A and B are shown apart, each in its own frame.
Chain A
Amino acid sequence: MIEIQDFLRTLGTDSGFWNPLVWGVIIIIAFLIAYIIRGMGKTEYKEKTEQTKVFLSGNPELEKEEMHVKASNVYWGFMESFKWLYSGLDKMHTGNVSDYILWFVIILGVLFLILGVI
């Protein structure tokens, strides 16, 4: 019931299309271009010499535990800039069962108002 040429068909949305195979061809070409550009990079780079050692502006290298950036430190600036939003969200997420049901009742009341009054 599924012929082989169906595997090549394009997913047409009403104002666009999406064909993964075309995308795959394009991405392969892009990889090739990137590889060529990489090929014409610095040639005097050597493995296993002073060049590959970690250079922390002269400071000694930390051990592995501190080298890894902790998850709570990723996107620190985002959290800081949206502190006003996150304070409200934290106030919303109380782990209290009654609040869960309260939100349900609020949605119920809002829908009643919308569908009843109009």
Chain B
Amino acid sequence: MNIIDDLILHSPALIVAIPLLGAFLTPLISKINDKMRNIFVIFIVLLTSAIVLLLANDIYAVCGKIHTYVFGGSSPVTQGGFAIRILFEVDGLNIFMALIATILAIVGVIYSWAFMKENTGLDKYYTLYLLMIAGMFGMILTGDMFNFFVFLEITSIASCALIAFWTNKGKAVDAGFKYIVVSATGALFILFAIAILYGQYNALNMAVLASKIEFSFLDNIALVVLVSGLAMKAGIVPMHMWLPDAYGRAPASVTLILVGVTQASLYGALRMIFTVYGDSLSTTLNQIGDINIELNLILGIFIVALALLTIFIGVLMALKENNFKRMIAFAAVAEIGYMILAIGAALTTIFSAAETDIGTGAMALKGGIFHILNDALDVGLLFLVAGAVYYATKETSLNRLGGLARNMKYTTIFFLIGLLAVSGMPPMNGFASKLIIYESTYQVNPILSIIAILCSILLLAVFVKVFHSAFLGPKQPKFDDVKEVPKSMLLAMGIIACIIIFIGLFPDIVVNNIVQPAVNAITDNSNYISNVIGGI
């Protein structure tokens, strides 16, 4: 099939360009009528997903294949081995994140149909929604530093405007303002670091930078600024405070995409640390006695400390919280901590000489990356359920909820699935990834896995509290006329629930076919580099 080959050939551009095209056309389409506009938006998202699946099928066919796409030109680099045009470089990690983003986008659009029906300004809502999706795909797929910054800004601005969508609520507007201030500051510092790297090596492409970089003092500063900015965008304690405000006040369908944006920022941090700085991470900084302190050790220990803090504070604040969506947001912070824990444990071990340490690091990375997928699905499902409860009862405080299980049966079942999954109970998917994380971190240091397991138990306690106070209990007279939410919302929640149960029942298929290529893509960046500037 010729057309299919052309689609696969141009797919990295089309995945970003088709949602942009849809966003540009939505104000024109919505002149016709609303139903047409919704159908158009869903069609655009489905088309993008189909292209993503084609590209994924193409990449997973050959082990270690990287799909490089050059904008405007044909050859990625010139004779000197430097890239002048913007490259998209799609390897296992990119396509893994793209699959997550695809699931979230489809579910979010289906969910929005009924959830946002009563609101005004829906054409602009769908425009911004498509722009968020396009920016997320761009952040995930790009191979150019400045292009990453541009898509980061697109995503930040669109999501800020959508967080403050209900402008009659003061808290929502306030949360939007906090979000835009935080993300603008972080993005500006990221641009500062990019400019430092550009001024030193006169390159903006990630692979070219990775090939050129040697660890001078300025690279040190650039690494620190990049990691801090992306960590703030990813919501790591103590820079997590914008996250409960934004997640808690946004419409649930927007919160779903915000989860994906947070994961995309985490992906950016992974890419910067492991690919761009990958060669210089094992440089010995200093020697105390005969043990030499390497950069990856320092960075890994710092990230592990931040991860423990993230898990602990996230869980404790979630226990205390009484607002439905804010509680789930704090739980999401704790979930992010698990990934960071795995990444830090991998950083400490994976560059060492011993073979067993390398195995442990690879296992930790596998668990962390698998947990990115599971966290996106579980937390997304919980947020959708919270939105459904708000849609049915117009009530967010858990103190005034209760006894909803009698009126909203399916929603209760979905919440139960999400509860079990997010708190790592077998046989859901959260258990599989958390098991890998526990075992790998146990070999790094037993204390880490002990704290992680304890916090996971506390997480279960959190959601037992939510389940008891929102769904169980006697039937409240003021909720007598509460009905089950419309079909499309149930369909959206059902899709995620089915994927969760599938991954939970057959985790080995997912780990072997989807997660392992991403781990391989992280652990050796030589393939990524040599794909652009030829063999080194």
Cα A87 to Cα B302 with chains together (Å): 26
A41 in the interface, Cβ–Cβ < 8 Å? no
Mark each residue of chain B from 499 to 510: 1 if its CB lies under 8 Å from any CB of chain A, else 0. 000001111110
| A-facing residues in B434-456 (Cβ within 8 Å) | 435-436, 439-440, 442-443
Mark each residue of chain A from 78 to 98: 1 if its CB lies under 8 Å from any CB of chain B, else 0. 110010011001001101010
Which A residues lie within 8 Å of B217 (CB)?
116
Is the Cβ of A100 less than 8 Å from the Cβ of B178?
Answer: yes
Which A residues lie within 8 Å of B363 (CB)?
13-14
Minimum CB–CB distance from B500 to chain A (whole Å) comes to 12
Which chain B residue has the least Cβ–Cβ distance from A67?
B474
Residue in contact with B435 in the complex, picked from A16, A72, A104, CB distance below 8 Å? A16
Which chain A residue has the least Cβ–Cβ distance from B225?
A108
Cα A99 to Cα B239 with chains together (Å): 9
Interface window among B122-130, B197-205, B226-234, B346-354: B226-234
Which A residues lie within 8 Å of B528 (CB)?
none
Given that A6-B508, A69-B473 are contacting pairs, would A104 and B320 also be in contact in the complex, using a CB cutoff of 8 Å? no
Which B residues lie within 8 Å of A78 (CB)?
319
Given that A16-B435, A72-B322, A111-B302 are contacting pairs, would A104 and B232 also be in contact in the complex, using a CB cutoff of 8 Å? yes
Is the Cβ of A118 less than 8 Å from the Cβ of B293?
Answer: yes
B530 in the interface, Cβ–Cβ < 8 Å? no
Minimum CB–CB distance from A94 to chain B (whole Å) comes to 8
Is the Cβ of B473 less than 8 Å from the Cβ of A68?
Answer: yes
Which B residues lie within 8 Å of A58 (CB)?
none
B461 in the interface, Cβ–Cβ < 8 Å? yes
Which chain B residue has the least Cβ–Cβ distance from A12?
B508
Minimum CB–CB distance from B517 to chain A (whole Å) comes to 13
Given that A14-B360, A20-B427, A111-B228 are contacting pairs, would A101 and B182 also be in contact in the complex, using a CB cutoff of 8 Å? yes
Is the Cβ of A64 less than 8 Å from the Cβ of B476?
Answer: yes
B242 in the interface, Cβ–Cβ < 8 Å? yes
Cα A29 to Cα B238 with chains together (Å): 46
Is the Cβ of B313 less than 8 Å from the Cβ of A71?
Answer: no
A31 in the interface, Cβ–Cβ < 8 Å? no
B39 in the interface, Cβ–Cβ < 8 Å? no
Which A residues lie within 8 Å of B228 (CB)?
104, 107-108, 111
Interface window among B7-15, B137-145, B397-405: B397-405
Residue in contact with A71 in the complex, picked from B398, B435, B505, CB distance below 8 Å? B398
Which A residues lie within 8 Å of B509 (CB)?
2, 6-7, 9
| B-facing residues in A1-20 (Cβ within 8 Å) | 2, 6-7, 9-16, 18, 20
Given that A11-B508, A64-B477, A72-B399 are contacting pairs, would A95 and B245 also be in contact in the complex, using a CB cutoff of 8 Å? yes
Cα A114 to Cα B427 with chains together (Å): 42
Q: Is the interface of B mostly helix, strand, loop or mixed?
A: helix
Which B residues lie within 8 Å of A56 (CB)?
none
A75 in the interface, Cβ–Cβ < 8 Å? yes
Is the Cβ of B465 less than 8 Å from the Cβ of A74?
Answer: yes
Is the Cβ of A11 less than 8 Å from the Cβ of B507?
Answer: yes
Cα A32 to Cα B272 with chains together (Å): 52
Is the Cβ of B507 less than 8 Å from the Cβ of A20?
Answer: yes
B136 in the interface, Cβ–Cβ < 8 Å? no
Is the Cβ of A92 less than 8 Å from the Cβ of B399?
Answer: no
Which B residues lie within 8 Å of A35 (CB)?
none
Which A residues lie within 8 Å of B470 (CB)?
71
Given that A6-B508, A7-B506, A18-B432 are contacting pairs, would A114 and B298 also be in contact in the complex, using a CB cutoff of 8 Å? yes
Given that A71-B399, A111-B302 are contacting pairs, would A86 and B316 also be in contact in the complex, using a CB cutoff of 8 Å? yes
Given that A18-B507, A64-B474, A112-B224 are contacting pairs, would A71 and B316 also be in contact in the complex, using a CB cutoff of 8 Å? no
A47 in the interface, Cβ–Cβ < 8 Å? no
A23 in the interface, Cβ–Cβ < 8 Å? yes
* Count of A interface residues, CB-CB < 8 Å: 51
Which B residues lie within 8 Å of A12 (CB)?
508
B285 in the interface, Cβ–Cβ < 8 Å? yes
Is the Cβ of B241 less than 8 Å from the Cβ of A118?
Answer: no
Minimum CB–CB distance from B282 to chain A (whole Å) comes to 14
Cα A92 to Cα B330 with chains together (Å): 14
Which A residues lie within 8 Å of B465 (CB)?
71, 74-75
Cα A67 to Cα B221 with chains together (Å): 59
Q: By CB atoms of chain B within 10 A, which of A13, A71, A101 has the most?
A: A71
Is the Cβ of B427 less than 8 Å from the Cβ of A24?
Answer: yes
| A-facing residues in B186-241 (Cβ within 8 Å) | 186, 217, 220-221, 223-225, 227-229, 231-232, 238-239, 241
Which B residues lie within 8 Å of A118 (CB)?
285-286, 293, 298
Is the Cβ of B461 less than 8 Å from the Cβ of A75?
Answer: yes
Is the Cβ of A13 less than 8 Å from the Cβ of B298?
Answer: no
Is the Cβ of A100 less than 8 Å from the Cβ of B322?
Answer: no
Is the Cβ of A11 less than 8 Å from the Cβ of B238?
Answer: no
Is the Cβ of A71 less than 8 Å from the Cβ of B322?
Answer: yes
Cα A4 to Cα B424 with chains together (Å): 27
Is the Cβ of A116 less than 8 Å from the Cβ of B185?
Answer: no
Which B residues lie within 8 Å of A79 (CB)?
319-320
Is the Cβ of A107 less than 8 Å from the Cβ of B319?
Answer: no
A65 in the interface, Cβ–Cβ < 8 Å? yes
Is the Cβ of B476 less than 8 Å from the Cβ of A68?
Answer: yes
Which B residues lie within 8 Å of A21 (CB)?
505
Minimum CB–CB distance from A18 to chain B (whole Å) comes to 5
Can you list 23 pairs linking A and B with CB atoms under 8 Å apart?
A: A6-B512, A11-B507, A11-B511, A18-B431, A20-B427, A64-B477, A68-B474, A70-B469, A71-B397, A72-B399, A85-B316, A95-B178, A95-B241, A97-B178, A99-B241, A100-B239, A100-B241, A104-B182, A104-B186, A111-B302, A112-B224, A114-B298, A116-B217
20 further interface pairs, Cβ-Cβ under 8 Å (given A68-B469, A104-B228): A2-B513, A9-B509, A10-B508, A11-B432, A13-B440, A15-B442, A16-B439, A20-B427, A23-B426, A69-B469, A70-B398, A89-B316, A97-B178, A97-B181, A97-B182, A104-B182, A108-B225, A110-B302, A115-B285, A115-B295
- Top 4 A-B residue pairs of the complex, sorted by shortest distance between their CB atoms: A71-B398, A71-B469, A68-B473, A20-B427
